[in-house]
Amino acid sequence: MTEQTNCPADETLAAYIEGRLTNEEQLTVSDHLGACFRCYRIFSETAKDEAERSRKRKSFIYRVAGVAAAVLVFAIGLEFLENQSAPVISEPQKGTAAYWIHKYGRVSAPENSLVLRAEKVLQRLSRVADRSHESRLVFVGADKTPYAAALSDGSIVLTDGALHLCYNGVSPEHGDSRMAFVLGHELVHLRNRNFFHEAAFAAGEEPASVDGRSREKEREADAYGLIYATMAGFDPDAVLETGNNFIQYWVSHLPQQQVYNDRAHPGPRDRVSSISSHLKHVANQLNYFHFGVTLYQIGRYEDAIILLNRFAKEFPSREVFNNLGLCHYQLALQRLAVCDPALVEQAYPATSIDTESLAVRFRSAAGPTQCLENESFRGHIQNAELLFRRASEMDTAYLPSRINLSSTRIMKHDYSAANEILDEALKAKPGDSFALNNKALALYLSDPDQVDSSLSILKNVCRSDPGFAPAIYNSAVMLRKKDLKDSRETMRIFLQLESRGIYADVARKELRLAAPVSAGIYAEMPSPIPLSEVNAAQQILQQMDMVPFSLENLNGAFYENSANKVLVLEDFVEVVETSGGSHLEIASLQSRFGTPKRILFTQLGRIHVYSNFAVEIRDDQVHHIVHFE
C-alpha cells in the first residue's frame, strides 16, 4: 500500500492482475478495490481502455492520477518486445469480487436503496454464523438476473436482480427474512470453503467443476442457511410458506437455459423437502432446550447445563447461551453464599431466563476478597460472563443477556462496567425493570452516598411493576441507611412475594421471623402422571411418543403427547409438564397454594415456583404447569 493514499502500489496491482499474489495478498487488494469506489472505477476504466489498445502497442502503461487512486505501471522494454507478441490486458481473476465488478458493474446504495437493508441483514447473520473470517457483500448488475455466490476471496456477490426478487411484492421485514436465507446459504459455503459454483455467475455459464457431492453441499447450505437466519431472529416461514415458496419463486426467475443446465443445484422441490427434513430434526431436539429451562427453574442447574449444551450443538443461538450463562451464574451465587453470605445479601441483581427458543419456529472461613477469588466461584462466574457476552454479540438487541451480563459485573464488584452495559440496555428499552433495578444497584454499590438517587430509580420500578421482587428487596436494603422502620416494612412486602431462597432468608433474619413451616393448610397440585419410577407410570408412558438420550453422565428419555411432556432421568419420572391451565385463577394461587418458594422473571412474564410444582404466567394467564419432585 502507498503511504499517501493507502491504495495498492503499482507493482502490487500489476501482480494482482497477473495472479502472482498470495491468497492473503489477493484478498487484501480485492477488499480495497471493493471498498474504494473511486479507485476501482479508475482502475477498471483504464484496464478496459488498455486492453483495446494493447494489440496496437508494443508497450503500455496504466496511468491513474489522484491522491485516492491506485497507480499501475506495467512497463515492458522495447528490446524484449522485438521477438514477442504484444501482451493483452487480462481481467481480474475469477473468484474475486474485482472480477465481477469489472464484468458486470458495481451497484451502490445511491443506485439501489435495498443495498443498505441487505448489508444490515448480513451484519445480523454475521453475529450467529460460524465463520473463520469476515465476509463482505458486493453488489453487481448482471441484467436483473437473480444470483448470489460465495467467492474464494471471502466476498459474497449479489446481483441487483437478487435484491429485487427478495423484496418484490412483500413487506420490508418479509424481504429481510428472504435475504437472510440467501445470505445465510452463502455464509455456509464460505464456512465450508465451497466455491464450485463461483464460475457459473452469468446465465448460461457452466460451473468450472462440479463434483458428485455438489448437490449435497447445496442442500446443506440451504438447511444451515435457514438455521442461521432463524438464529438471527428472521422468520423461516418467509422462505417456506405454503403457496408462496421463495425457492420456487427464485428458480422461476432464472433464465431457462440456466435452469435446465444447472448440474450443481438440486431442484426446488428437492431443496424444500431437504430443508423441511432438517428443520424437523432440529425441532425434534427442542426438548433438550425445553427441559433444560425447566431444570433451571427448579434449581437443578448442573443437569440443566447438560441438556442445554446438547441443544446448543444443534441450534447455538442467543437464548441457549443466555440460559447456560444463567445456570453458571446461579452455581457461582451458591458457592458465594456458602463462602460469605454477606456478599450475596447486599444486593439482588435482576436476571432473566429465556423460556422460548427461536427454534420453536421450526416447531465460611474466608474473607470477602478470598471468596471472590474462590476457584469454584470464579470458574462459574467467568463461564456465565463468556456465555452472556456470546449471546449479546449474536444479537445486540437481545436484552436478557445484557441484563444478566450486568449482574455478573455487579457480583464481581465491577460497577463501572455494569453501568456501561446497562446504559446501552436502557437505550434499547427505556424503562425496563430489570435494567433499572441493576442500574440502581450499580450506582448505590459504587457510591453509597448516591442512596437517594438509587432509591428514586427503584421507586419508579416498583410503581410501574409492583410485583418486581428484586427492586423491593434492594429498596429495603438501601432504606437501612435512612429509615429502619421503612426498611423493615419493605422487607415484609418482599416476603409476601418471595418467601423462599437466599434473599427471603435474609429478610426473615432481619425481621426476626421463623422459617416458614410447610403446613398442610394449602392444597396440593397433583401430577397427572406419577412422579415415581418408570415402572409405576409405564401404562401411561407407553401410550406417548418416546425419544431416549444418553449424555455425559445423564441418561433418560423424553415422552410427549398432545397434553403432556415428561422428562425421565435414570428410570425415574422427574418432570411432568402440562400445557395451559384454564382451571387455575391467578388471583387464587396465593390462597390455594400459599406463597411461592421463589419467583423467576422472564421478558414474557413470571414463573412461580412452589415446593413441587411451578406455574408460568404470561399476560395474567397460566401458560403451563410443571410438576417435579
Residue-wise pLDDT tens digits, 283-326:
788 899 999 999 999 899 999 999 999 999 888 888 899 999 99
Question: How many CB atoms sit inside 10 A of residue 156's CB?
Answer: 23
Q: Output the CA–CA distances (angstroms, integers) from residue 473 to 183, 438, 484, 495, 603, in the order listed.
A: 47, 12, 14, 9, 20
Residue with cell 434449581: 299
Q: Tell me if 568 sits within 8 A of 530, measured CB to CB.
A: no
Q: Output the CA–CA distances (angstroms, integers) from residue 270 to 111, 166, 178, 266, in the order listed.
A: 36, 21, 19, 6
Q: Which CATH superfamily is domain 311-446 in?
A: Tetratricopeptide repeat domain (1.25.40.10)
pLDDT at 385: 94
Closest CA to 468 of 457, 478, 479: 457
Residue ranges in the chain whose pLDDT is less than 50: 1-4, 23, 46-89, 132, 199-210, 257-261, 364-367, 519-520
pLDDT at 407: 93
Cβ-Cβ contacts under 8 Å for 561 (sequence gap 6 or more): 543, 544, 545
pLDDT at 53: 46
Counting Cβ atoms within 10 Å, is residue 603 exposed (0-12), middle (13-18) or buried (19+)? middle
Q: What's the chain's average pLDDT?
A: 78
Closest CA to 572 of 589, 555, 593: 555
pLDDT at 464: 93
Cell of 58: 508494443
Residue-wise pLDDT tens digits, 132-185:
456 788 888 876 677 888 888 888 988 888 998 999 888 999 999 999 999 999
Domain ranges of the chain: 1-93, 94-284, 311-446, 534-628
* Calpha distance 44→102 (Å, rounded): 6
Residue with cell 447461551: 321
Q: Per-residue DSSP letters for 518-568?
A: --TTSPP---SS-SSBGGGGHHHHTTSEEEEEEETTEEEEEEE-SSEEEEE
Cell of 184: 445465510
pLDDT at 32: 64
